[in-house]
Every structure is written in structure tokens, then in C-alpha cells.
Structure 1
Amino acid sequence: MGAHAVGTDEQDWAGLAAEARARLVREIEASRAWAADPVWREAFARVPRHLFVPYYYVAGPGGHERRWGESPDAAARERWLRGAYEDVPLATRLRDGELVSSSSQPSLMAQMLAELRPADGDRVLEVGAGTGYNAALLAHRLGDDGLVTTVDLEPEITEAARCHLAAAGHHPVVVTGDGARGVPERAPYDRIIATCALPTVPRAWLAQCAPGARILTPLATGLVVLTVRDAAHAEGPFLGTAAYFVPLRGTGCGPDAPLPDLRGVPARAREDDDFRFLLALARGRTGPREAHALWERAGRPPRERYGVTVCDGRAWAWLDDPRGPHRWPLPG
């Protein structure tokens, strides 16, 4: 099993974990994921991801393999530990073969946290507690667990996150509830970050934000960053990064409709990620051929040319100009 084989020696175990974590940090740094805010390097170097994934599932030709940190087989435990520090998402909960919770890809988490740009003293709401790892990174960065609130709909997820956080020495506020409703009793927030996909921007979040707050949420296979003006107004662009998350479960957050029939759209466009993002953003409101014609006329725009506006109870996505001709209403 190599020089760092996992056995009964806790010092060897800690050394293997530290080595794997250092390698992950180097990979994230090479990707420039935290270029917008390099302070996150220390958080990823210090917070032990393996404590948040005591088991996870790896897809294979014969189904899902369960990797477990308490396996009686030393080689299996080593595979679990090394896998916990790979720069990949880890499936942590399956229900009837369907993924319901995961630990996101660390480099994507790093980019999202860097783009969130929390400052010392900021109050942060995380929607989608997951394993608790993201909340631990936030708590480490802010240096005050009490500034971090994380919410998830399912009690077994929040209870597990609470246990993982305690094992890592962190105690942010973990709430069981509908993330689309926010957590009003802990408001106001300076930052809100979602780690699950939403069909729109919940209006409740704006009402719980301080003026000038920043919201970062997955939407339509992208990541949108909004600046909040007041309880009724927020606006901002998408990042250039593709992002695929487990959907938020709760009020008004059912699964998206499938992509439309793409017959009649050139094969090159059908497989283009930027074109498929436009389809996801305008889903059900612009036909595939019309969307393709727009995409070609606009010069095949990447994600960062799109944005979202919330204003006086309405929300819409747009291309290039919030008040321009290419706009698509968002639900609710």
C-alpha cells in the first residue's frame, strides 16, 4: 500500500490526510479558482474534507461503490481517504439510485467562495448545507462560527452536517428548513450563497439582505452573482463557469422541464455548452430554432454576457442588457 499505508498508527493516518490535502490545495491553486480572493487558500489547507465525507459513492460499471472511512480493510480505508481529497464532486446520499446530496468539486467551491467575497464581520447564509464542508470553510475564513448560517430541508442532512462540523471544531448555526424561504430570524445577511440549483431567485432572500449584499446562486447550469440594492431590487451577471448542482427541494422548486427537441438545430450547436446554457435559461419561452438564430446573430455569447435582474416582484434573465430586447422571465 506504499509508504503511507493506513494502519493503526494515527500519526501515519494524519500524515496521509495532510499530504492528500496539500496536493488538493496545489491543484486548486493551479486552476486559479481563488484568484479573486486568495485568502481562501488557508481555509482549504486547514479544513479537513475527509471529516465531512465519512462515506461516499463512486459510480462504476457495476453500479455505485460505497467507500467508507470505517471499513475493516486498510486498503479500502486508504482509497476512501485519498478519494476524499480528489478535486471531484462526491455523491454522499442516494435515494432509489438518484443523487439527493453531494459534496461539490473543491475547485468549484473555491471559485464560488472567492467570487462571494465575504469580508471580516459579514453575516453569511448558505442555502444547501450538504455535508457541512462549505460552512466550515466559511466559518474558518470569517473566524467566527456565529456569522455563518446554513440551511437544508431534510433533518438527516442537517444532523449529519452538524456532526461533521463539530468533528472539525466548528459550530455555525445549522437550520432545518426550506432554503427558498431563507432564515429570517438570523437576518440581515451580507452574503447569501446557494450550493443547489434553483429555477429563480427567491424574493425572500432579498428581503433578508442588507443593502449592498451579494448573492451567488446556481441557475440554468451557470452561476449568477447579484448585488442587492434593497428588498425589491437586485441585479448582476453570470460567471463564465459552467455549474451543475442537485436541485433545491422545497417550495416552488420542482425539477426543471427537459430540454426541448433539438431537431432542426445544427449538430455543432446541439453539443455546444454555451448554446445549451441559453436553452436552459430561456427554457419553454424561446424555441430551439429561434434560440439558435439569436445565438448565432449575437456571436455565440458565453455565459458572462448574460445576467439576471430582480425588480419590484419580477425577475428576468437577459443577454447583454437588462432592458434590452433579449429577456426571459424567470418563475415566481
Structure 2
Amino acid sequence: MGGHAPDREQDDLAATARAALVRRIDASGAWATDPVWREAFAAVPRHLFVPYYYVGVAGGYERRWGESPDPQARERWIRGAYEDTPLATRLRDGELLSSSSQPSLMADMLAALRVEDGNTVLEIGAGTGYNAALLAHRLGDDRVTTVDLDPEITESARRHLAAAGYQPVVVTGDGARGVPERAPFDRIIATCALSTVPRAWIAQSRPGGRILMPLATGLVVLRVSDATHAEGRFLHTPAYFVPLRGGSRPGGEPLQLGGVPRRAREDDLFRFLLALTRGTLDPQEAHSLWEQEGRPQRERYGITVSGDREWAWLDDPEGPYAWPLPT
């Protein structure tokens, strides 16, 4: 018999911890608009997707893993797997390469995707496979495709999914190109940050489809009208994701924030505007706009893609405040 003797104990502990996580997400209101997700989070065993992860400690990271010979360490691993926090799953030279997102943020994103029975979904960024399992639990394996550039990530996602009893289609490839051979999709969800909307995703969406993606420390939900047009607004939720590898990377030169008051510099909503207008507004202009418009929340901003043009805007796609995005 493989594994450690008290496997039953481990399963019971996992079930109790999972039920507590579900109650916590319930209390956050994340799936209030689509309570069907509650059942998926209650059923899918997150600990099977994070056989080990890293927890920040003074001076670096400590590894927690399910095969530790110490029963208390295994218990800490299970309890940690069901905390409502992101878990670092892959590090290289101290740099975070991959993580399992915070479950309540995943619930927020899945609810905002407005999945309907029978939908086909493409996930960009396979991560541990946990998000694909939640989708497969709801829609069925054959309706879910997940793609990642890194063969090590897709291989381990496949392994975790099989261990949990799910078999969605896992593809190794550049997520920015989508997965044309599985298109068209009703929904596309990205779990990595981008600085622009990949045209392939719009082309591979059905008219009326939805694309949800992290951009500029926010989450934008686009409604696709045809193969070259999509538009939508940001959710209120802040979101910080590892950038998509292989696609265009957010970043560039550090911004010169001289003349911007410290209060604004440290404000999450101002930093969002800075990230959104990078390369078109200098920080001082962004600051006067931000003050003049009453320090707008994320949901007042949106993105429009029309043919080969793509721009961010405040309040109105055709209004006075619009900024081209890098193409």
C-alpha cells in the first residue's frame, strides 16, 4: 500500500478544511451571482493540485509538501492548501514562475465569466490544473481546454488532474495564439497578466462569447461581437498575476513619479491608472486626470478592440479619455 498509513485521516482533514474554505468564499460573496460554483469548490480537492508549495518566511521561502515524513508537516501542508491565499508552486532562483491563485479570486473570476451549461471554455495558463478541474467539474472534461507554454507545467497539471479524476484537454503551446484546433470557444479565461488583448482569442471566440483576462492590475471582461471586435469593462477586483510567458510582457522602464504626491503613489487605484496608460500619459498627467475625475474605481474603465485598433478608456469608449494599448 503506497503513501502514509493515516491516509483516511488525511482525507478527513482535507474534507473539513475544504468545507471551511467554501464557507469563507461564501461569506466573501464571490459567487453570489452564480452559486453553482459552490458545488465545484466543495468537490474538487485542491490539495491534490499542490503536492508541494512554498510559503514566504523571513529570508526566503519554506517548502511544504504532502510526502513529508513528519505527520505535523503533512497536516500543515493540507491546512495551508485550503487557506484562502495564493500558493507559490514554482520558483527559480527566488523568482516566482507559477502559483495557484487565491481561491476567492478564482471564484470571483469564474462567476464573472458567466458560464452556461454546454459552454466550451479555453483557459490560458494551466497552472496547477485546479482551475481547469473546477471548470471540468461543472461543464464536463470534453468542454474544457487549458494551454501553457511550459511542458513541465502542462505535464504536472495533467498528473494532478488525473489524480483528482478529471481529464480536460491540456495543450502545450503559446497561450497568446489560443488553441485554434479546439475553437470556437464560448468563454476564454486567462490566469496570467497581459498588456494587450491577443487577436487570436477574439478570432477563436463565438459571437456573444466572453473573454476574462488580467490586464494592468485589474480584470477586464470583454464581450465578443465578431472575429475582430470586442469591448468591455473592468471588474472592481484588483488582480496581480504572473505575466504570460511567450506573449507581450507588461513592464518596461520604471516610471518617473517625481511630482506625484506619495498618497497617490501608494494608492492601488492610481497605480492601476498608471499601468493602463503606460506609454501614453506621463505620471503627472495621469495624476491630474485621476484627481479631476474623483479618483475613479476600476469599473469606470474599459477596453475596446476594433480591427487593428485597441484602446483603454474612462467611462465611454468614444469619450475624451482614451489611450491606445500596445499592439
Report the TM-score range of the alignment, normalised by the length of the smaller protein.
over 0.9
Quick check: 1:267 aligned with 2:267? Answer: no
Quick check: 1:230 aligned with 2:198? Answer: no
Report the CA distance shift for 1:255/1:234 in structure 2 as closer, same or farther (over 3 A).
closer
Is the 1:259–1:279 Cα contact (8 Å) retained in structure 2? no
CA distance in 2 between partners of 1:209 and 1:284 (Å): 29
Deviation string 1:256-288 (CA, Å, 9 cap, x unpaired) is: 125412121112111111111000000121011
Q: How does 1:26-37 map to 2 (within 5 A)?
A: 26-37=23-34
Q: How does 1:100-139 map to 2 (within 5 A)?
A: 100-139=97-136
Q: How does 1:57-72 map to 2 (within 5 A)?
A: 57-72=54-69
Identify which range, 127-136 or 313-322, moves more after superposition.
313-322
Structure 2: stretches of 5+ with no match in the other structure: none
Name the counterpart of 2:149: 153
CA distance in 1 between partners of 2:254 and 2:19 (Å): 40
Kindly, what percent of the aligned residue pairs are identical? 74
Identify which range, 59-68 or 39-48, moves more after superposition.
59-68
CA distance in 2 between partners of 1:79 and 1:62 (Å): 20
SS at match of 1:112: helix
Residue 306 of structure 1, aligned match among 301, 306, 310: 301
SS at match of 1:242: coil
Is the 1:259–1:283 Cα contact (8 Å) retained in structure 2? no
* Structure 1 stretches of 4+ moved >4 Å: none
Name the counterpart of 1:288: 283
Name the counterpart of 1:3: none
Q: Per-residue deviation at 1:94?
A: 0.5
Q: What RMSD over aligned residues (CA atoms) do the two structures have, in Å? A: 1.1
Name the counterpart of 2:190: 194
CA distance in 2 between partners of 1:199 and 1:192 (Å): 16
Name the counterpart of 1:204: 200
Structure 1: stretches of 5+ with no match in the other structure: 1-6
- TM-score under structure 2 length normalisation: 0.98
CA distance in 2 between partners of 1:242 and 1:62 (Å): 27
Deviation string 1:138-188 (CA, Å, 9 cap, x unpaired) is: 00111x100000000000000000000000100000000000000000000
Is the 1:196–1:218 Cα contact (8 Å) retained in structure 2? yes
Residue 239 of structure 2, aligned match among 239, 243, 252: 243
Q: Per-residue deviation at 1:66?
A: 0.5
Q: What one-letter code is carried by the residue in structure 2 that aligns with 1:193? A: I
Report the CA distance shift for 1:255/1:279 in structure 2 as closer, same or farther (over 3 A).
closer
Residue 324 of structure 1, aligned match among 313, 319, 324: 319
Report the CA distance shift for 1:111/1:258 in structure 2 as closer, same or farther (over 3 A).
farther
SS at match of 1:263: coil
Residue 165 of structure 1, aligned match among 151, 161, 167: 161
- TM-score under structure 1 length normalisation: 0.96
CA distance in 2 between partners of 1:18 and 1:258 (Å): 47
Q: What one-letter code is carried by the residue in structure 1 that aligns with 2:243? A: P
Is the 2:194–2:250 Cα contact (8 Å) retained in structure 1? no
SS at match of 2:62: strand
Q: How does 1:88-107 map to 2 (within 5 A)?
A: 88-107=85-104
Name the counterpart of 2:48: 51
CA distance in 2 between partners of 1:39 and 1:218 (Å): 23
Name the counterpart of 1:278: 273
CA distance in 1 between partners of 2:190 and 2:297 (Å): 22
Q: Per-residue deviation at 1:21?
A: 0.3
SS at match of 2:231: strand
CA distance in 2 between partners of 1:211 and 1:259 (Å): 39
CA distance in 2 between partners of 1:38 and 1:189 (Å): 23
Q: What one-letter code is carried by the residue in structure 1 that aligns with 2:105? A: L
Q: What one-letter code is carried by the residue in structure 1 that aligns with 2:87? A: L
Q: What one-letter code is carried by the residue in structure 2 that aligns with 1:194? A: A
CA distance in 2 between partners of 1:323 and 1:259 (Å): 30
Quick check: 1:81 aligned with 2:78? Answer: yes
Q: Per-residue deviation at 1:8?
A: 2.4
Q: Per-residue deviation at 1:255?
A: 4.1
Is the 1:199–1:331 Cα contact (8 Å) retained in structure 2? yes
